[in-house]
Structure 1
Amino acid sequence: MNKLQQLLRYEQTAGVLMIAAIAIGLGAANSPLAPLYELIHDTEVHLRFGALIVEDALAEWVNQGLMVIFFLIVGLEIKRELLEGDLASLRYAALPAIAAVGGMLAPALIYAGFNWDDAAALRGWAIPTATDIVLAVSLLSLLGSRVPAGLKIFLTALAIFDDIGAVLVIAVFYGDALALTPLLVAALAVAGLIVVNRMGITREAAYVIPGLILWVALLKAGVEAALAGVLIAAAVPLRIPRRDVASPLKRTERRLHPWSTLVVVPLFAFFNAGIVIDAASAAQLLDSVSLGIIAGLFLGKQLGILVACWAAVVVGLGQLPKGVTWAQIYGAAVLAGIGFTMSLFVATLAFSDPVLVTSAKLAILVASLLAGVFGLSVIGVSTRAPAPAAQAASGSRT
């Protein structure tokens, strides 16, 4: 493996690319390049299949099209972890699962408290409930070997359960008015994926055609089209009888994961971070939507996760990972307040008013920045660097 391939395997790379994409999008929207950025953002793209036409702005093709790959990877990771990973054991899965529930409920309640009397704003209740697994884990990895393995597993598992919750929320609460015929086509496509799975077919190409049909059908049916990725992932087999054939799930995850983290997510960040920051937008940080998101992500996440973990440990439903302290759990809880990718995605579904979308996006950026800086600081202070001898021993094992 060459040095470039080794570099791309580091988790930090994905985080750096996303931060760079955010900076470029913000910079372009607030510079003389703003007209060019808007032109790229709003360029209409048409796709025709006979009489069927799918058309939308380029930004929506990223949000509703390319993000299918992101959701596919999320689905593959969830399935693999549940079947044979750290989440396969109830003992290890209980604490992050309970923490994820607390980390979704508290932000939602806080946001609702700020926006209870505004029906339009209240639709954004799910925005602060999401954790960005790419940024959170990437930032945690910046501390290197100082971070206990148990804490990395806890945060990753927490984010995976959080993703499960986010997918369910999007499917139930943020679909449009359903169209029956496309929904029936989507059901047939899902049935096709199940048949391919039950036949033991391992070639990824066999899942592409019913997957594409499913995506278009969900788009036309008024269901969030990106959820097609999760449904496709559920059909891709993890284990097969033949030992001489690699796991289709792991093979697909290995091939698509770099595209998701290094291309799709940065493109999503670029197209969704282009917020014009001026006196008017800064003033929006004091409206109820922005305050609800900031308080929900930065305060609600840490409060909900910490209380849920404490309750689970006290009643015996969960236990802290080996070598992990409560201070480090608190730092991870704060870090879970980074909600960039999924929060932005929910914001684009929740609001049709551009003013509300702008308020939400700016608040997500502010809250994620606060959570990232403070969370890393807490973990850094609470985690001592390993002794030189231990580092040497660790290096000799690798």
Structure 2
Amino acid sequence: MTSPATAAPLGHDDVLDAIVKAPQAIATVDAKPSLLGLSRARLADALLAIGVEERQVRMRVNQLWHWMYLRGVDSFDRMTNVSKELRAQLAEAYVVGRPELVTEQISVDGTRKWLFRFPSRGAGKPVEVETVYIPEEGRGTLCVSSQVGCSLTCSFCHTGTQVMVRNLTAEEIVSQVVVARERLGDFPASDKADGILPSEGRLVTNVVMMGMGEPLMNYEAVRDAMQIFADGDGLSLSRRRITLSTSGVVPMIPRIGAETGVMLAISLHAVRDDLRDVLVPINKKYKIAELLEACRNYPGLSNARRITFEYVMLKGVNDSAADARELVRLLRGIPAKINLIPFNAWPGSQYQCPDWDTIEAFAEIVNRAGYASPIRTPRGRDILAACGQLKSASERLKISERLALEAMIGTLPADDED
């Protein structure tokens, strides 16, 4: 078996200038269930199941929550204000789960990409996903995955070329943030319960559900994970610093807004249904007009809580002045920001990035109409960590294996055949 230090990351031989470290395994796969990613109610049930008295449950939940999310500890032994007897009971029944960290890559621009391996969850083989950290002046954004592969097959997206294997659990989604913060040294150094927590200078300030997969095809796990991200006694991220990006699963858009209050981003990429049907195939089911109507009705929408529309610039496909004018017309009346994303090439892609003058001309039309339209600076291209480039090195399951697995765990999206 090739070691993580020498393995070709993501199965690509042409990744240049990447620094690949050989991290130690964070935790071995344990048959015991993990408490990470459980809601407070489910965590209370887990404590009751091992005999914790009901009158103590709320206090114990708060203690565990503090240690797992504010302190980032990975074992019960380190929870120093929990009795030794209870720590032993917890260790007998549960773990504070961590995935296996297969590779860590650092781009020349400081972007980091981690390849995480998770157990099979019932059948088949372990699975892998990627998570990306993008440092910027005054902020650090973590791009988190919600599925292993993706069922939407967007033609410009590298992840879309990978078969959909399964949804991630809330634990697996939350653990990406926890491990990223560990790797970055973003948890308090002291394990003491009365230690001082940093009030500023956190490295992970923003989380975006823009990694592998379509988050709204894994609704409940994504919702539960984002609620943990925003919990003031947990990972404590502002809801305005948590963004969910969707390709347009229209029926779930108002629900995710009502139940989480997070920011919304829409992977739009085209202004005509015929083109978007090709670029973003879910458009065959939910057309642009229906998608934009859901955006207009998004809970909490205002000039202070604008929707971000993501628009990947593809040479000769969607980059004309006429496209820019139609984009402005379509979004009229929606408080919005438009992120223009120069296409990031990946091996075997049929698309190209427009020249810079074309992109700037497009942006100028949008800007003149009153919309902020920053041109996103590509980050992490040398390690295939840029927008649209994520694709794990997991060995793909056969169709029959995948169907059997999804039937067993009950997470096959209803529209997977689309």
- Place the TM-score, normalised by the shorter chain, in its bin: under 0.3
Structure number with higher relative contact order (C-alpha < 8 Å, ≥ 6 residues apart): 1
Normalized against structure 2, the TM-score is what? 0.26
Normalized against structure 1, the TM-score is what? 0.27
Bigger proportion of residues as strand? 2
Bigger proportion of residues as helix? 1
